[in-house]
Structure 1
Amino acid sequence: MESIRNEAESLRYIRQHTNVPVPTVYCDFEDDDAYYLVTEYVEGVGMSSLKEDQKAVVREELQHHLAALQTLKSNQLGGPSGIVIPPYRVLRRTETDQWHLKPSNIDEYVFCHNDLSQQNVIVDPDTLKINAIIDWEYAGFYPAYFEWPFYTRLGPSVAGKEEVDDSFELLEFLKSRSENETGN
């Protein structure tokens, strides 16, 4: 439920503060212990369905959007509304689902998508322009190194066979910023 609320707040925040293409939030609400998010439907295809030369064009535009996100800074870890939903690759390493993290003294954290795989980039197949970046449930303010470039290859947002798994390092960072001894 909290991840959907975080996605709704993140989409609104991004739309208000950047030109990064995201779906419009029509409404979000809680009812009967469930949280609902209604957004616009975005036409296009996933970046994963493109040919390699086409993906190179999309990656170039994506780099500009990532740079725009990294201009957004905060001294507080987590989403714009204060909800902390760490990247999936971290969540699968812990049983903690409640994070209470101390703020920094400076605005050192940048806005990260934290699940930026090719499936989450919706592209116009004719123009190769990005129509929307979707699935922002893990988004928020984190150190820049949390934004792993999963969009450079096919597959899920976890380390592959030949990649370094940074999930334990990220988890240790979050625990070091915890407000209590248990790391959450």
Structure 2
Amino acid sequence: MFPTGSPWRRDPFWHLHSSERHYILTENIFTKRELQRNEFPTNIKTGLVVTPRWSRERLQNEAAALQYITSETSIPVPQFIDLFDHNGVLHLQTKRVRGTPLDEIDKASAPTAVKCVNAYMESTVLPQLRKLRHNTLGSVNRHLPLLLPSKITYRDKRSSWVRHKSHTQDFVFCHNDLGQHNIFVDPKTFVVTAIIDWEFAGFFPPEFENKMWWHAWDQTTKDDERTDQWIRWLSTFDGRIGFDGGDRRLHAD
């Protein structure tokens, strides 16, 4: 997830460090990379070093997702430039996107901006994503593990998950973090200019895609009961009961 309160709009060039990534923005290029081992954060309570989960795999997934979305839809996403390893650290480079994050639109204009974004998401983005279907959960890169939204992994710390298969193409492509901080708009017209941060994207039941753009990140309420329902569904290996109560006939890969 891209850090909130970023200087993206205010400063043309910057370096930014989060608990999981290092970011570099230049006039035309945006780079995000894995942290080096000496940059890993330390847990304040335990004093132990915290290793970001699936850090490399998430960058690999985003690179694959950006190229896939560009080739299959008209959804505006950052233009993929390169995915490369430098001194054992994976870097993802994209063309810099223009516009303003939706959560940085001034308060007076925010309600109108959100309504404009919602209309675009409902009429253009979601229909195109739902046309992209597959019978296997997860990334378009079949070599990657199942990368789940952070709201799931925060509650269930298991190290790996099964990439279930369906006998039919039940799974649709989901971004899995369509919050205001990941949607860029023209600050005057509120036209969506880019949707960023596809690290957790992949094929999932359509119910996985929450309409998070309605509220700013710090105003979003957690739905632990719903999340636990997802976890129970993901943990079902016999596949007799689908996520929505239907029979999706899942089986483990």
TM over 0.5: yes
Contact persistence 1:118–1:153 (CA under 8 A): yes
> Do structure 1's residue 6 and structure 2's residue 61 form an aligned pair?
yes
The corresponding residue for 1:37 is 92
CA distance in 2, matches of 1:38, 1:55: 29
CA distance in 2, matches of 1:110, 1:30: 30
Of 203, 220, 239, the residue aligned with 1:141 is: 203
Gaps of 5+ in 1: none
- Equivalent residue pairs, number: 178
Gaps of 5+ in 2: 1-55, 239-251
Bigger radius of gyration = 2
The corresponding residue for 1:58 is 117
What percentage of aligned pairs have identical amino acids?
A: 31
CA distance in 2, matches of 1:125, 1:113: 23
SS of the aligned residue for 1:68 comes to helix
> Do structure 1's residue 106 and structure 2's residue 164 form an aligned pair?
no
CA distance in 1, matches of 2:233, 2:97: 35
The corresponding residue for 2:127 is 67
Determine which structure has greater relative contact order: mean sequence separation of CA pairs < 8 Å that are 6+ residues apart, divided by chain length: 1
Residue 33 of structure 1, CA deviation: 3.6
Of 65, 76, 89, the residue aligned with 1:21 is: 76
Cα 1:41/1:165, change in 2 over 3 Å = farther
Contact persistence 2:65–2:198 (CA under 8 A): yes
For 1:1-60, what per-residue CA distance to the aligned partner results, in whole angstroms no more than 9, with x for missing partners?
111111111111101100010001100023444321001111111111232112211211
Contact persistence 2:114–2:213 (CA under 8 A): no
CA distance in 2, matches of 1:100, 1:81: 15
CA distance in 2, matches of 1:156, 1:91: 19
Q: Which 4+ residue blocks in structure 1 deviate beyond 6 angstroms?
A: none
CA distance in 1, matches of 2:63, 2:79: 9
The corresponding residue for 2:5 is none
For 1:65-117, what per-residue CA distance to the aligned partner results, in whole angstroms no more than 9, with x for missing partners?
11110110000000100232111111111222333323111000000000110
CA distance in 2, matches of 1:170, 1:59: 25
| Residue identity opposite 1:80 in structure 2 | V
CA distance in 2, matches of 1:75, 1:149: 24
Contact persistence 1:78–1:142 (CA under 8 A): yes
CA distance in 1, matches of 2:89, 2:155: 25
Cα 1:127/1:107, change in 2 over 3 Å = same
The corresponding residue for 2:236 is 176
The corresponding residue for 2:227 is 167
The TM-score, its normalising length taken from structure 1, stands at 0.88
For 1:111-164, what per-residue CA distance to the aligned partner results, in whole angstroms no more than 9, with x for missing partners?
00001100100011122111110011111000000001111111169x616x56
